[in-house]
Amino acid sequence: MAGFGIGSEIASVAATATVPITAPPETPKLPPREWVKANLFSSPFNSVLTVVSTAILLTLSWNLLKFIFNPIRQWNASATNLRLLMTRAYPEEQYLRIWVCVAIILTLAGSSMAVWRTGSAMPVTGLGRKLLATGALLVLLALLAPFSAGATVQWLLAALVVAAVGEALRRTGGRGETERTVSTLTLQVVALAGLVASLWVIPFGHHSYIPKRIPQVMHEPGTVALSTKLPWTIMLVVVVAAYFGGVLLRDRLAENALRVTLVVLWLLAPPVLVYLILRDPDFDMGHVIGTDIPIFLAYAVLGSTLLLWLTRPSTGEIGRIVAALVLLAGFATFLSPMRMVLRLDLLLLATFALAAPTFAGGLRARKRYTGAWLVLLGVMSWLITSINTASTVRVPGGFFIGGLAITLMVAIFTIVLSVPLGIALALARTSSMPIFRLLATWFIEFVRGVPLITILIFFSIMLPLFLPRGMHLGEVAAVIIGFVLFSAAYMAENIRGGLQSVTRGQHEAAEAVGMTTAQKTVFIVLPQALRVAIPPLVGHCIGVFKETSLLAIIGVFDLLYMARYVVPGQTEFMGSARESILFVIPIYWIVCSRMSKASQRIEQRTGLGER
Amino acid sequence: MKSKYWKLLAVFLSIGIVAAACGSDDDAGTTTTAAPTTAAPTTAAPTTQVEVVQGGSLLDTVQARGTLHCGVSGSAVAFSETQPDGSVTGIDADFCRAVAAAVTGSADNVEFTALTASERFTAVQTGDVDVLMRNTTWTQSRDSSVGMDFGPTTYYDGQQLMARVSDGFSGSSQVADIDGSVVCTNVGTTTEKNIAEAALLAGAEITLLGFETSDEVYETFIAGGCDITTTDGSALVGRKAKQQPADQEWVIFPATPISKEPLGPTYGQNDSAWADAVNWTVYAMIILDEYGITSANVDDHVGDEAEVGRLLGGEGELQSGMGLAPDAFYQVIKQVGSYGEVYDRNLNPVGLYREGSANAGWLDGGLIYSPPAR
């Protein structure tokens, strides 16, 4: 898969980039002479390889440093435009909403870290060794970089301080029984606290324009640091508090229930943050009470009754016919004009009705199934209502958010929506029913035969021209649909690969214990298939995240477009495109490397490659 | 037999999931208003929802909505820049504000939509924007087959070349002098075609180097990778003012550009009332500039005789006759400024001045000219 290829490429690039740098052969203090000899100069070929790659690495870093520390570089451009790069034109007076969102995500992240027991104990001597290596690396860079003599001395001093701290830690760390350890989480918090503290000291960027009828340059520029130092300090406190809260809950409550709750909260977070907090729907209560709630209640009562009846073991074949009729009715609603919410609710009901016989059983099971229907119906009704309501946040431009926020939003929605669609397509493609197999095959092969750009342009530019008058598809919704369809086709093939790895014996064993096809698929085949498909799936997700930058072609102002065109399009920062691109590279890298780390954790947890 | 049913069910279930996933997403940013009974149309854009005035002019729609939807570039230096706080500035942005002031009474009633070059005309056709102020060149094909109409030119641009004085170039150099040079430009634009044609006509043999972004072009030019760069004159002047290193001296030539790039407001065709409103906003700014009226002194001239008085609302029937408020153009001058003011505010900082250019008034030998207001 293309996405997988890119993912593994990143991993290999990261590996080649970091391994020789953390252990450069020029630092005689760090590794013993034998280690160097055994690892880097073991054979003539190996020696040549070491020398050549060292030369290449040194030239590369020298040129990079020459570029970065060139006085004509406008690094101020990224610092000053941080807000633009993160959220585009979100209004200043409403910015609290962004911070609330960040706080919610950090709370979830902090408590998840506690509940899943992330972080590990790291020996203090190991930490010392790492700091020592960092100091050596800094010395190397300071000598390479085209600094003035004064600056070189300053950097060298800083490097020596780092190395000295490392050496001290290494010596005091203890050994064997007396070895002291430190949690990696503590180290991360210390690093974050250092970053936040730097906001209070260093005036990053300047935020020089004041919005007026005719915007003017302020005489006394404020700084980006000025407006973010307090919020980020609060965020640091929030994430630490969330972690300890998570520890408390973990020790007092059932761990499994806590994990399920957190997963549900994570899944609920994107729509809640986007549609409730960032957009803040301006509810017309009369309409909500007069129309939305009655529709919900009607569906809740009728649907529950239907589902309770359908899940009765005694209902039998007639239930399936009724369910199929509901589905037909759901599709038929598109023939006559009516509210979209009526159609969607009916389709959801049809889905539940069709699946109902699988969940047939005792009263408790039936009640639980009906409860699931009610919860899903409630979430969907709320989403549709809040989406269909005007926002109280007035933001200029085509969409209320941009920059990194829209990159993340499109990536998350695409990944979350295309996974179930991909599973459905993979199942359909491997099914024994020719119509569905053909449809799925055609769809997958067609989508994979068309470039993503074509699909995006079709959905954003052509589709609005085909839509009937009065029907309007928001640009972001259009591209997310296009993206989901594209991504699902690739996901389906990844999952199909997993499905084929499940041996015939598993199928037969499942059938032998009397499982139905649905039970066999859900409980035997899919778990094994998905486990095998994790690496390509995560590779694909990384690909999706990076492909969001193609949105720029159709005028969605994502992070890369901001850095490449909008920031250099300011009179003040004309010609700063390369600085901005260098600034966004680490952002993309951090997100992608986190995803790949998560994939490794899941692989370990599911024992992939071990059994 | 039973397993067949189950297969059918499994597939139906998967289709159902698909339908639900697509369906809910479909609604997630859509206004699926198949019937008039449906709730107010929704877009993700937080706009006040106003019904489109059926069959009427866009002018009525914009006035009913109270907000002008203006399409800009959002990343064009001095024309429409996005500032760090998200606001849009530049000469194009100011003409948007001017139209908003004339049509709705306040220059603040404008919502900027940043558009890429490829989607700008579609945005007009689908009604996403009411008017384009997106440095769009007025050409025959755009005016006819693309389905656009063009307002009065607000900026006369034209493609020029920039080279180093140390290479023997001067302001009086001609295209024929670039024989044997390496020329850098952006790929995929008319700029590339124009320079190739001009060099062919002048009998000069050149090597064209194409780059994806302008920044790469100028980095290469500074580093000596090319002898000449070429693009619209306004951009060259800005780059020269901003990026010329201390040890180089750049010069822009030929004095007469090798292409004509008249930039101005663009809107959908066959809507005269809307076209009149946009055009006469620009004309009023040009006429009042000829009389030396600015946002600072406009209050002293409200009661003036003749043309100034007519435009500023003394006798309002001219404006009322075209569906605007009598004091529409007073608001434009008061809140945004006259043509010269808007030009100087946005283009002087990047080194573009009206004097001696095609953008001087017709009385000063330029091309900025307006029909009389009477």
Indicate whether B113 belongs to any domain: yes
d(CA A572, CA A580) in angstroms, rounded, equals 14
Contact B113 A478 (CB under 8 A): no
How far is the C-alpha of B193 from the C-alpha of B210, rounded, in Å? 11
Residue at which a domain ends, from B239, B258, B277: B258
Residue B315 backbone dihedrals phi, psi, to 5 degrees: -110, 105
Average pLDDT value for residue range A282-286: 85
Q: Minimal Cα distance from A325: which residue of B?
A: B12
Residues B215 and B228 in one domain: yes
B150 and B70 assigned to the same domain:
yes
Helices (H) and strands (E) in chain A, counts: 26, 5
Q: Are B23 and A574 inside 8 Å of each other by CB?
A: no
In chain B, the residue whose alpha carbon lies closest to the alpha carbon of A566 is B75
Residues 6+ apart with CB under 8 A from A278: A90, A97, A98, A101, A393, A400, A401
Q: Is the same domain home to B141 and B212?
A: no
pLDDT tens digit sequence for A343-368: 888 988 988 888 887 777 788 888 88
In a domain, B31, yes or no: no
User: To the nearest whole angstrom, how far is the Cα of A485 from the nearest Cα of chain B?
Assistant: 9
Q: Which residues pair with B185 in a beta bridge?
A: B210
Q: What b/e string do you get for B119-137 counting C-beta neighbours within 10 Å, with b at 16 or more?
A: bbbbbbbbebbbbbbbbbb
- Residue B185 and residue B67 share a domain: no
β-bridge mates for residue B111, sequence order: B69
Q: In which band, very low, low, confident or very high, does the pLDDT at A152 lie, cut at 50, 70 and 90?
A: confident
pLDDT in tens, A362-411: 888 888 889 999 999 998 888 888 877 888 887 766 677 888 999 999 99
Tell me if B87 and A400 make a contact (CB, 8 A cut-off): no
> Is residue A434 within 8 angstroms of chain B, CB to CB?
no
Boundary-marking domain end, from B213, B238, B258:
B258
Of A320, A413, A566, the CB nearest to B75: A566
- Interatomic CA distance for residues A514 and A523, integer angstroms: 13
Which residues of B fall within a CB distance of 8 Å from A379?
Answer: none
* B205 in any annotated domain: yes
Q: How confident is the model at residue A265 (pLDDT cuts 50, 70, 90)?
A: very high
Residue B125 lies in a domain: yes
**Contact at CB, A473 and B30, closer than 8 angstroms:** yes
Q: Convert the pLDDT of each residue in A165-222 to its tens digit.
A: 998 988 887 766 777 888 888 999 999 999 999 888 887 877 655 544 454 544 455 6
Residue % of chain A over a pLDDT of 90: 35
User: Are residues B149 and B269 both part of a single domain?
Assistant: yes
> Are residues B134 and B268 located together in one domain of the fold?
yes
Give the residue on B whose Cα is nearest the Cα of A577: B215
Sign of torsion over alpha carbons A384, A385, A389, A391: negative
Weakly modelled stretches of chain B, pLDDT under 50: 1-2, 16-51
- The ipTM (two decimal places) reads 0.78
Q: Scan for tokens 């003599």, then name that residue.
A: A149
CA distance B200 to chain A (A): 31
pLDDT of residue B51: 46
Residue range A395-611, CATH number: 1.10.3720.10
What residues form DSSP beta bridges with B162? B229, B252
Looking at the structure of chain B, the number of domains it has is 2
B180 part of a folded domain: yes
Residue B16, pLDDT score: 47
Q: Are residues B202 and B339 in the same domain?
A: no
| Yes or no, beta carbons of B44 and A400 under 8 Å apart | yes
- Chain A hits for B268, Cβ within 8 Å: none
- Check residue A4 and give its pLDDT: 42
Predicted local distance difference test score (pLDDT) of residue A201: 85
Q: Is A546 within 8 Å of chain B by CB?
A: no
Residue A455 distance to chain B (closest CA, Å): 15
Q: Residues B257-272, buried b or exposed e (16+ Cβ, 10 A)?
A: bbbebbbbbbbbeebe
Spatial contact of B81 and B112, defined as CB atoms under 8 Å apart = no
Write out chain A residues lying below 8 Å of B27, CB-based: 340-341, 344, 384, 387-388
pLDDT at A209: 52
Nearest residue on chain B to A557, alpha-carbon basis: B114
- Taking each helix axis from N to C end, the angle separating B328-335 and B91-104, rounded to the nearest 10 degrees, works out to 150
The verdict on a CB contact (< 8 Å) between A396 and B21 is no
- Is A143 within 8 Å of chain B by CB? no
Are residues B228 and B197 located together in one domain of the fold? yes
Question: Is A399 in contact with B44 (Cβ distance < 8 A)?
Answer: yes
Q: What is the pLDDT of residue A179?
A: 78
* Interface contact B97-A213, CB threshold 8 A: yes
The per-residue pLDDT for B115 is 85
pLDDT of residue A80: 86
The answer, yes or no, to whether residue A599 has pLDDT greater than 50, is yes
At A396 the pLDDT is: 65
Q: Which one-letter DSSP state was computed for residue B213? A: S
**Distance (Å, rounded) from C-alpha A140 to C-alpha A65?**
11
Q: Give the nearest partner residue to A427 out of B10, B39, B216, using CB atoms.
A: B10
- pLDDT at residue A468 in the model: 61
Q: What whole-number distance in Å separates Cα of residue A233 and Cα of residue A200?
A: 9
B145 and B270, same domain (yes or no): yes
For residue A50, which amino acid is it? T
The pLDDT-based confidence of A21 (bands split at 50, 70, 90) is very low
Q: pLDDT band at A23, cuts 50/70/90?
A: very low
Mark yes or no for CB contact A388/B245 under 8 Å: no
Domain ranges of chain A: 91-280, 287-390, 395-611
Domain assignment present for B42:
no
In chain B, which residue's Cα lies nearest the Cα of A324? B12
Domain with B251 in it: 160-258
Determine the residue of chain B that is closest to A426 in CA distance: B14
Q: Judge if B319 and B197 occupy the same domain.
A: no
Please indicate if any CB of chain B lies within 8 Å of the CB of A215. yes
Is there a contact between A295 and A361 (Cβ–Cβ < 8 Å)? Answer: no
* The pLDDT value given to residue A407: 93
Q: Is residue B24 part of a domain?
A: no
| Inter-chain CB proximity A397 and B111 less than 8 Å | yes
Chain B partners within 8 Å of A207 (Cβ): 84-85
Residue contact B86–A421, C-beta within 8 A: no
Q: Cβ of A272 under 8 Å from any chain B Cβ? A: no
Cβ distance A310 to A357 under 8 Å?
yes
User: Are A474 and B30 spatial neighbours (Cβ–Cβ below 8 Å)?
Assistant: yes
Distance of CA B263 to the CA centre of its chain: 7
Q: In CATH, what number is assigned to the domain containing residue B230?
A: 3.40.190.10
Please check the confidence at residue A31 and state whether its pLDDT lies above 60: no
- Would you tell me which residues 334-363 of chain B have a C-beta closer than 8 angstroms to some C-beta of chain A? 335-337, 345, 349-350
Chain A residues inside the 8 Å CB shell of B33: 470-472
Residue A282 has pLDDT above 90, yes or no: no
Say if B334 falls within a structural domain. yes
> CB of A476 within 8 Å of any CB in chain B?
yes
Eight-class DSSP state of A418 = H
Residues from chain B contacting residue A479 (CB–CB below 8 Å): none
* Shared domain check, B108 and B239: no
Which of B231, B258, B285 delimits the end of a domain? Answer: B258
Residues B130 and B183 in one domain: no
Question: What is the per-residue DSSP string for B12-47?
Answer: HHHHHHHHHHHHHHHHTTEE--SSTTSPSP--SS--
The model's pLDDT over A78-116, given as tens digits with 9 standing for 90+, comes to: 888 888 898 887 887 888 899 999 999 999 999 999 998
- At residue B37, the pLDDT reads 30
Q: Which residues in chain B are contacts of A90 at CB distance < 8 A?
A: 86
B301-330 residues touching A, CB cutoff 8 A: none
Surface of A (174-213) touching B: CB under 8 A? 207-211, 213
Closest Cα in chain B, distance from residue A421 (Å): 6
CA B203 to chain A, closest CA, distance in angstroms equals 33
For residue A89, the distance in angstroms to the closest alpha carbon of chain B comes to 4
Residue A366 to chain B, least CA–CA distance (Å): 18
